[in-house]
Amino acid sequence: MTTHHGAGPLRRLVVLRHAKSAWPMGVDDHDRPLGPRGLRDAPAAGRALAETDCLPDLVLCSTAERARHTWELAAAEWSAPPPVRHEPRLYGAAVPELLALVREVPPTVGTLLLVGHNPGLEELVLELAGDDLDDALDDVRTKFPTSAVAVLAWRGDSWRDLAPGTALLTSLIVPRGKAPR
């Protein structure tokens, strides 16, 4: 196990894959809504973030309907949701674009939440994590399902300092909501 010691304050990048979406006929991919399971799981993701003390200072959320609705339902579980920026560049983004977005974040932000899509988010987690706790990297390699929450911790004075292999994957949570009775 490699330990990464960086200079600067502890920062966390929280990555949330949108909740399970529906596939209605004739609806553009960008406009796909959440499905029934997604409507249950998105609030559970919000509760999981609160329970693990991973509430962000800033949220960057894809403009896709399923990501926006995931964020809205997750944030409704918190007493004071943080500011959100709906970012069109998150939709369909690969690792280089995602990392560029993260590096634009002001250094005053200690915890950043990205709400977006696979395969980009899964690949970002695997690219940034140089190490993990509790075999979380193996779990991400196996599957990064809808509503999954990955928490990466690292030290740096600025988000511009975040580089491949420099973060510690501290947890992977896959919250699931309960079906109505």
Residues 74 and 43 sit within 8 Å (Cβ to Cβ): yes
* DSSP-based helix, strand, coil % in the chain, nearest 5: 35, 25, 45
Q: What is the pLDDT of residue 99?
A: 96
> What is d(CA 92, CA 67) in angstroms, rounded to the nearest whole number?
12
Q: What is the pLDDT of residue 2?
A: 41
> What is d(CA 131, CA 181) in angstroms, rounded to the nearest whole number?
41
> What is d(CA 121, CA 88) in angstroms, rounded to the nearest whole number?
15
DSSP sequence for 107-156? TT-SEEEEEE-TTHHHHHHHHHEEEESTTHHHHHHH---TT-EEEEEEE-
Radius of gyration from C-alpha coordinates of the chain: 15
Question: What is the C-alpha end-to-end distance of the chain, expressed in Å?
Answer: 45
> What is d(CA 14, CA 121) in angstroms, rounded to the nearest whole number?
10
Q: What is the pLDDT of residue 4?
A: 47
Q: Which two tokens stand for residue 36?
A: 């029934």
**What count of Cα atoms within 13 Å lies in the side-chain half-sphere of residue 110?**
6
Q: What is the pLDDT of residue 179?
A: 67
The pTM of the full predicted model, rounded to 2 decimals, is 0.93
Q: What is the pLDDT of residue 3?
A: 41
Q: pLDDT tens string for the chain (181 positions)? A: 344 456 788 999 999 999 999 999 999 999 999 999 999 999 999 999 999 888 899 999 999 999 999 999 999 999 988 999 999 999 999 999 999 999 999 999 999 999 999 999 999 999 999 998 888 888 899 999 999 999 999 999 999 999 999 999 999 999 998 766 5
> What is d(CA 59, CA 81) in angstroms, rounded to the nearest whole number?
9
